[in-house]
Structure 1
């Protein structure tokens, strides 16, 4: 008869209980989000949660699954305060950020969900017809923006932060495009005046 080592049983029990209490930061229907993106965002989520106690999560769902709206779908997740949560429902083409009263003061929801590329970090990507990976890119940008705004409001630096590299690159590109357009118009006006 085999005798169990009590230390091994206690360690296994501790690990099992830890797994039950661990935060699930990301909900991912049918693996819409890649494992690589979830792994990267999990670093940010864990660091932010450890430093602030605020749960910041995200979910990409195929559909509302007979729920009447996004709020009803969110309520099924039973997330406790303090929290912020980005939800995208693929088939209904809906996006929302949920947050408790105190956490909602730590970030600019309207800016994150803006349809304009210069401020919005989710909708401009989802509206893009290009690219097969729009959900990964939208969640990555939106989640990074949300987390970094919350960290900044709490005067905390996130070591795992992605930063505004994508946004800065887009702004530089936009500057060159608009400058080129202005330059073309200026040259056209100049040529018309020279001909006179």
Structure 2
């Protein structure tokens, strides 16, 4: 009986330890509460850590603590980790998303500005720059904010949150893997993103063409008025 008790005790400890390990990459979830989402994040995060030694942890908050901004919250949270860690943090009520890495040398492995860009494609960035007559910042390729900004029907908001945050999480993980020269078996891949990009290129191409025709028509009308004078 003592042997069985010890064996059962060891089994419980093993299961608890393994559960703790597989839960650490979705570090905090106060929003989604979806086992499938949890499993996907932890599967990708675990593989990335095994192959690169870098932990990417997702934090899903209902709301930031009173009087604390998102960067301050992340800085405090980072004190809990001894390994190289990147935090991707989302606060629903504050409508905030941020990425913070420690040590700061980790930023060389991924493009934070691109991931957090509110603009999803180069074509969209060009159209916006053209409309504003400002080409100083053409950053695009955002994998989180464009999805978060999209409208969702009643009952689909959590799906929007999980899709956008996993998309960003996967983007960080895959960029790190590429920088380190490793292949992630659980990577999302770029096939779906390429299909979306093709549709957006076509859509915004029509917009650019429409702007071109409108500008051409205005210039022609202006020239006609000058000639009549």
TM bracket, shorter-chain basis: 0.7 to 0.9
**CA 1:79–1:175 in structure 2 vs 1: closer, same or farther (change >3 Å)?**
same
Q: Which runs of 5+ in 2 are unaligned?
A: 122-140, 217-229
Shift of 1:43: 1.3
Number of aligned residue pairs: give it: 189
**Could you tell me how far apart the structure 1 residues matched to 2:143 and 2:17 are?**
37
TM-score of the pair, normalised by structure 2 = 0.71
Deviations 1:22-43 (Å, cap 9, x if unpaired)?
Answer: 66111110x4253222212221
- 1:45-83 CA deviation, whole Å, 9 max, x = no partner? 111011111111111111012251113322236233311
Contact 2:23/2:42 (CA < 8 Å) preserved in 1?
A: no
Structure-2 residue corresponding to 1:192: none
Between stretches 3-12 and 60-69, larger displacement belongs to 3-12
- Structure 1 residues 1-196: aligned runs within 5 Å: 2-5=1-4, 6-19=6-19, 24-26=24-26, 27-29=28-30, 31-32=31-32, 34-74=34-74, 75-76=76-77, 78-100=80-102, 101-118=104-121, 119-131=141-153, 132=157, 133-181=159-207
* Structure 1 residues 170 and 66: CA distance shift in structure 2, 3 A: same
Deviation at 1:85, TM superposition (A): 1.4
- Whether the 8 Å contact between 1:54 and 1:81 is mirrored in structure 2 is yes
- Which has more helix, going by share of residues? 2
TM-score of the aligned structures, taking structure 1 as reference length: 0.82
In the alignment, structure 1 segments of 5+ residues that lack a partner are 190-196
- Report the alpha carbon displacement of residue 18 of structure 1 after superposing the two structures with TM: 5.0
2:40 and 2:17 map into 1 onto residues whose CA distance is: 25
Cα deviation, 1:117-144, whole Å, max 9, x if unaligned, reads 1110011111122352221111111011
Across the aligned residues of Structure 1 and Structure 2, the Cα RMSD in angstroms comes to: 2.7
